[in-house]
Structure 1
C-alpha cells in the first residue's frame, strides 16, 4: 500500500528535505538560499503562495524600536506569517534602511515564513538561546545569500560594547564632542535632514517637540523615534 504520509502531512514532507547542501557561508553567518527555499516550496505544493504584508501601503513598519517586515506563506490552505526586523549583516537593527535593506529583510522573512511550514525549520534551533562566548562552538546554520543569519555567533557584550554608557544628561548635550558615542552619527544626521526637507518640517519645532538643543545632540537612542515621526509625517502628506 502506498505511503501517503507526505501527501497528507505537508509539514512532514518539507521538514524532511535535506537543506544542508544549500547552506552558504557569508562572513560570520551561514545562510539558506531563498531561491532554493521557494523552489522546494513550489515543488511540494504548486499552489503555495506568499504575501508581503503592507503597513499604510508600505512593505515595512516603522516603529520606535526600528523597522520591521512581515511575510505570510500559504501551503495547502494553511497561512502562517513571520515578522522580521530590518538588520545588518551583524544582526544589528538598521536605523535608516535603504530600499535594498528592506528588500533583503523581506527575502529573509520569506525564508523564515517558509520554515514555519517545515522546510529548514531545524536550522533555527537555538536562536532563542543566549549568545555564546565561544564563537567557534556556536551553531552557524542559517539561510543563503541574502537570507536570514541564524544563531548569533558573536557575543554582544564584548569589550567594545562595554563602552556604551548611560543616556546623556542635559549638561552632556550642551557640550557635545565630535564622534561622541552618545549622539547620532553623521549619516543619521544627514538622513534626518533629508526627511526634514522632504516634509517641510521646521527644525526648531522638531527640536522643541523632542526636547533637544540641536540636531547634533540627538542621542543615538532617540534617532529611531525621530525618524519614525518624520516618516509618519511624510506618509500622511503623500
Structure 2
C-alpha cells in the first residue's frame, strides 16, 4: 500500500456488514477493523497510551483512554471517554469498562486513517436542536431545492440514510424532492450531515412519542 494512497484505500473498504448497533449507536467490530488494517498494511502498529503507568486518565470530567495508530509511518491518536451502553460517562469504571473503551478508541483511531470513517459522520452533531416539535413524526424539509453539485456521498452513508428514513417514518420521495435528485446516491457530500441530522431528529421524536 503506497503511503499517498493509504487513506483512500482504507476509506473505500466496505465495512457495512461488520457494523454492530447498540441502542441508537453504530459500532464497527474491533477484530474486523484490526484485521482489515493489518491486511492493508502488515506493518501497521498501535499503542495504548499510559498515564503514570495506567492505561487511563482520571479527570474531573470523567475517565479517558487514548490509542495511537501508525499506518505507513503516519501516527494519529484518538482520545475516548469511558462510556456506558447509552454513551454516558462512567465515573468509576471497572477493568471491563476500561478495556471496552480502549477497543472502541482503537477502532476510532483506525478510522482516522480512513477505515470505517464514514460510520461516524454526523456523530458530533446534537441529536436535538432547540425548536418547536413538529406535529408529524417525520423529518421536516423546506420546499424542493435546485439540484446540488459536488461529490456524491459514500455507500455507507446511503445505507445509513435509508435506515433512518425507515426508522423515522419519513417519506423517501420527500428527501429526494428536497435535494432535487432521483436517487439517494446523488446527495452531495456537503449535504450529507444535514440530511442525516434531520432524519436522526425525526427518529428520536418518533421513539420518544
Query: Is this a same-fold pair by TM over 0.5?
Result: yes
Q: Which residue is 1:64 aligned to?
A: 60
In the alignment, what sits opposite 1:96?
92
Unaligned runs of 5+ in 1: 142-150, 160-238
Q: Is the alpha carbon distance of 1:61 and 1:26 closer, same or farther for their aligned partners in structure 2, counting shifts above 3 Å?
A: same
Alignment match of 2:77 (pick from 76, 81, 87): 81
Matched, 1:10 2:15: no
Structure 2: how far apart are the matches of 1:100 and 1:132? Answer: 31
Q: Report Cα offsets for 1:186-217 as digits up to 9, x if no partner.
A: xxxxxxxxxxxxxxxxxxxxxxxxxxxxxxxx
Instruction: List 4+ stretches of structure 1 deviating above 4 A.
Output: 133-137, 151-155
Q: Displacement of 1:136 after TM fit?
A: 8.7
Query: Quick check: 2:3–2:72 contact (8 Å CA) kept in 1?
Result: no
Which residue is equivalent to 1:170? none
Aligned pair partner of 2:28 in 29, 32, 36: 32
Per-residue CA deviations over 1:101-137 (Å, capped at 9, x if unaligned) read 0000000000000000000111111011111479997
**How much has 1:53 moved relative to structure 2?**
0.1
| TM-score (ref. length: structure 2) | 0.61
TM-score of the pair, normalised by structure 1: 0.54
Q: SS in structure 2 opposite 1:12?
A: helix
Structure 1 residue corresponding to 2:103, chosen from 98, 107, 111: 107
Tell me which residue corresponds to 2:194: none
Distance of aligned partners of 1:136 and 1:83 in 2 relative to their CA distance in 1, 3 Å threshold: farther
Alignment partner, residue 23 of structure 1: 19
**In structure 2, what is the equivalent of residue 118 of structure 1?**
114
- Which structure is larger by alpha-carbon Rg, 1 or 2? 1
13 and 94 in structure 1: CA distance in 2 versus 1, 3 angstrom threshold: same
Structure 1 counterpart SS, 2:76: strand
